[in-house]
Amino acid sequence: MVSIPKATKPREVICFFPVEFPAKEGVVYFFIAKDVFSQFLFQTGLEQDNGIEQVLKHLVLLMKDEEFKRYSKQPFTLVLHKHQQHKMQIEQIIAPHGGSVVFDDLYLARHMSDVMEDLYKSITQRQGNSNG
């Protein structure tokens, strides 16, 4: 098993996760990446599915993000929770940018739970304000 380095500088460890939200049309997925060191969030967009096609699309968008590219000379570890069977496709996208991928549910949950909680609170507050 590949270990995840301790994040000691920006873009060293990136958690990537599609957060699920209920919507009028059904469920939507908000694709978010979090820099573990700086706590900076990269938002790559919304989708109605969180399958591998959407994951790959949003990884490409992350690699093109101007803020993400600021540290392009530095290698990084991308942490995902599923899609191990697509590791080669994921690496094809991130390796040219210095990335390697690790699949670790517990690490991802530990570092993304606060993000998900804040997003849910924000949406709940907006819904409450629009109803009153």
The number of CA neighbours under 13 Å toward the Cβ of 91 is 9
Task: List the chain pLDDT tens, one digit each, 132 residues.
Answer: 568 999 999 999 999 999 888 888 889 999 999 999 999 999 999 999 999 999 999 999 999 999 999 888 889 999 999 899 999 999 999 999 999 999 999 999 998 887 777 766 665 565 556 554
- The pTM score is 0.85
In the chain, what are the domains?
13-131 (3.30.420.10)
pLDDT of 127 reads 55
The number of CA neighbours under 13 Å toward the Cβ of 31 is 20
Residue with tokens 């990084």, as numbered in its chain:
76
Residue with tokens 């690699």, as numbered in its chain:
63
> Which among 9, 8, 12 is positioned nearest to 78, based on CA atoms?
12
